[in-house]
Amino acid sequence: MEFAAWKDRKAVAAALKTIYDALDATAAEAALTAFETGPWGAKYQAIGKAWQEVIPFFAFPREVRRILYTTNAIEALNAKLRRAVRVRGHFPNDEAALKLLFLTLNRAEKDWKMPPREWSAARAQMAVLFGDRFAKAMGA
């Protein structure tokens, strides 16, 4: 969306939603082609080029994609790290900063009690897709 003008963002997002909601890579490719040939694709050609990098993402089932594309956990963790650094202000050396970040990460890990609600469906799909690799990674 950073390529679109502020006043056009809602309309461009609505046009991109057809790509985003595609069932598989073939449908996403067709929706991307339709976007690129449409008025928004002509106006913002960089968006079409950027979305071409996303098409391989559609090789995964919808349940797995929901887990992969969310950044909420990452953003929440980054916010905790920024808050810890901002409260402290300055550090006598790099080691002190690293210690603070380490302690913040350890404290944040204790707050992670529940997995995302989509995790069980994604886990089942990953078990099918990756078989023994997934079972080994999960410790089963």
**More confident site: 73 or 31:** 31
Its pTM stands at 0.55
- Scanning the structure block, which residue is given the tokens 């963002």? 9
pLDDT tens profile 28-49: 889 888 988 988 888 888 888 8
DSSP string, 82-116: HHHHHHH---SSHHHHHHHHHHHHHHHHHT--S--
| Cα 22 from Cα 13, distance rounded (Å) | 14
| Cα 83 from Cα 74, distance rounded (Å) | 14
pLDDT of 112 > 80? The answer is: no
Q: How confident is the model at residue 73 (pLDDT cuts 50, 70, 90)?
A: confident
pLDDT of 140 > 60? The answer is: no
Mean pLDDT of the chain: 83
CB atoms within 10 A of CB 44: 20
Q: How confident is the model at residue 114 (pLDDT cuts 50, 70, 90)?
A: low
- Scanning the structure block, which residue is given the tokens 């905790």? 80
Q: What is the pLDDT of residue 83?
A: 93
pLDDT tens profile 80-104: 999 999 998 889 999 999 999 999 9
